[in-house]
Structure 1
Amino acid sequence: MTTITDILKLPRYSDIKLLTSPEQVDANKTIQSVEISETPDIEHYIPADVLLLTTAMSYTNDQQGLISLIDSLIRAKAVGLGIKTGRFIGEVDPAVIAYAEKVGFPLIDIPNTYSLGSLLHQLLNKIWGTRYEEISFALDIQKKFFSLLVQNANNQVVINKLSEIVKTPIILLNPFKEIMDSSKQFNQSGNPAQHYVNQIVQTMQEMPKENDSFIINGPKGHEVQISIIPIRVHTYFPHYLVIVNPEQIPYPISSFAIDQAAMVLSFVLFKNEKVSESQQSIATEHFKELIDYHSGPTPSARSFELNMKHGYLLSDHYQVVHVFDEAALEDAMPHLQQEERLVLASQWLQKHVPDYFANGLVLFFGVSKETVILVQRETADLDEQLMAMRSRLHENLDIQLIFSVGNPYTDWKRINQSYTEAKQVFEERKSNLQTQPILHYKDKGMVQLFHHLEKNEVRFFCENVLKDFAYPKEPALVELRKTLTVYLGAQCEIASAASALFVHRNTVKYRILRCEEILGHAVNSPSHSLNLRLALALSDENS
């Protein structure tokens, strides 16, 4: 990294002077290249971060034209302008110098003793030599970090090593912007990493996407420069390397060197993630075996027990919750971004489910990208806890979880039944695109037998049995249908039905008589009540 200030400090260039005041201009921008030109319209022919050298021969009789040249160089994002004096112009007009100071653009006086061609080569050699040193250092860093990768170093070791090299604090965030690891500097009291992360997350939400550097307040209220580097373990949802006080990173460490370290870190994170997935898959395979064993028509003679090593627990409560992402609900084959969302949702649940369910077990199915939570302790506020998880994840990443819940059972040998119910709820919500956050399994009894029939056949049956009560629109018929449903549910007991409807017994009697008039038969006769119950349930489903 070479700047105008660096060049002017070299003894060999002691007679080259900065014409503009150092307090008025920034002479510390990195020079990427050096060029010579005598063309006034050079703006469109030079790269950014260039130091331009000129004899100013085009401005011998009109130095005011240099002001327009300065403006064009600023637009081209040039670093500065070196003018050789003593040949075409004796000295630079003070008005030009004053203007350059006003706009913050460095002007350099090059004595007539210099050949611009020779100076060009000398400066380029200096810049290229610096780049060689930076690249050499970056490759050395890459070698060190690949060595850590081979040695199976964990994230903490890699972060501490990088912090030691760049001599500044570092924080590693996961895609949910939660702290994975932080360097040793944050172990000190009064310097918590979470303080920085809280401000970083808020700033990242507010700032433009292209910004990767910004200012936050430190624990003591002082301003702290922050640099954010995405680590691409996933295509769409990166991890983040947070560098605190990047301006203090010493030479010859360059952004290229840090990029090399970030690249190796991405391999370390990917490897560690795959190791974690491999360990989790063992628990998932045991779950599949458990489901297959107890779902089979004739269980084999061998015994099958819960494997406590994988988080299973002997309990009197087992309930399966199927978890999916609302955005992926419509697609039979989720695309890559949606698959990543499902994988990340499962990873987040692995970490945070214990905060909500004691001894909850998270299982991930790699092929279908579905997640299952096995609740192994009775939870009175199950729905509230699921909604709390959904809300918390959505705050950290744009994922909206949906839950399909099976019934609870007291025997672990019936986990397969709870799983089958949860899966059935999910398949139904998928076919009907039901996006409610939580759906519970409801036992349909005999209604299930009619699912293979055409809707028209079911409708004909309902209308034939219920007459005007099949799909009523008029309020009076709706009220009579409700009374009929409650009456049958109360085993045709007038008192129980009246209590459930909050009406007088005589009102129930009158309504049931009206129902019997419309239906043409008594509603409590064994030959009719079963058909009535079934038709009421089916017409509810298909209304």
Structure 2
Amino acid sequence: MSVTVNDLLKLPCLKESEVLAGHGGLYKIVASISVLEYADVSALQNDLFNNNEFRGGEIVISGLVNIKDNVDAQCANIRRLAQVGEVGLILYYVGIFMPRVDQRLIDTANELDFVLICMPKNRMDLRYSEAISEVMEAIFKDQNDNVYFANEILERVSHLPRSQRNIETVLKMASDRLHISLFLTDASYHVLNSVAWPRTLNLNLEELIKQMDLSRPEELVPIKVHETDAWLHHAPLIWNNKTQMHLFIIKENAPINLNLLKHTGELVKLAVNIWNSKHTEFVMSELVQAILNDEPMNMRRLANFFKIDVASINNMWIIRPGSHIKEDEKGKMIQRQILDIATNILKNRCSTLIIDIYDGSIVVFMDKQSMVESSTELACELENALAQNEIDATLVICYNLETTTDVRQAYLAVSNGVEYARKIFCHKKQLTLHEILFAQVCNDVIVSGEEAIKNKLKDLTLLSANTDHRYTDLVDTLEIFLLEADSNIAKTAELMFLHKNTIKYRIRCINERLCYPVMKMPEANDLYLACAIRRLLGDKQW
């Protein structure tokens, strides 16, 4: 929960007020309240707006006394307050100083979803202090009850103008919420962003970190800030098992709660991923990681922010570049190319789509119900697009995943078994999760030892009759017929570059030597497993 403008309207001090405009902004989050004392437009423009200081999340109190008869100036104020992220204006003393609220001001507020609240008209006995004390009490109570604030801050930033959606704004919001100073640095401790609390405080990070041991992060270290007792916290921010940034948090007079420190680190890391400072790139790697790591709370928080219905997701695709593609710059370029191709194919075909690079693979989550075509058609289109771009990659399709636990188990199974499956189904560029799990079963048989292998391959030995040297041809044909051609004569002939009659003859010979048709169940199950184990063994034949 977070305090919204709509919540404030229920307070005793605002119960008699009237919302004149900006109803679309009633559910914006309010972080503080302030008074607009002097509303001259030119002065505001010079002293408040041009310095690009973020003041968002506030609701403003004013009587607009010095521009009470200037409607153009009133509208300009509304626009500029909205520009820096203010959520609304509470108008006092209408009918006393400001004669009435002009329709143009109402229209401007509606255009911007900027909440315009009018206190009871013709009342001189109204006091700013009543609204200030009750609003701040509601905000403080909410903050004490809800210590996890990352989602609230990210949501507030998402409603700001594009120019305000950045790391600096997130740090300022965290600073205002917790009364802390923050420094964000690169891996070499060069300061990228810094925010002081209070804003006028002058801090030098180089001097501060001399008072701590950087080799022991995550500790609260007592320090001195201008002769005042303070505590310094150092949190390395890690991506792909490598420290990419450092976050330093300073709190004066009393140490900050460790949970709040942890939440602040999570917030900054998420913000860096969402609003890359160099390209304002919107990425979903944190959400993908939360799903694959089966972190329900983090996943739901991120999904809520991204407006994604995670519960509707029941399909996962994993696109794995060929095993010969290395994790170097060229390999990463290929991963990015695959990501772009898959995104272009899928982005308008599914209402729910999450796609990103994760641990060298391209991971796609989607809901089956919203697909305009079947998943088979989309998979074939993607396979063809990769082939046209001469990209060697395997698409693994995992369907009917009911929970995030299922998703994580499926991903781990693919990570462990995809190379085995590639050897078994060497002509396929599309695999299913069941084929991956089957490949793992085959490998388990091989790991069990010689006796287990011989027991599973015994039916294949029946294909060798006396001194017949056609054993290899028959087994190779059987492998392709079962493992890649879906037991189709024409497809087998195509894959082996042979005539269909040749394949028919070989299948007839196989049936005769086995004494049962190759498609007869349940014998076909054992035959399928035997072919797969033999394919996985490769040159290591028993």
TM-score under structure 2 length normalisation: 0.34
TM-score under structure 1 length normalisation: 0.34
Rg comparison, structure with higher value? 1
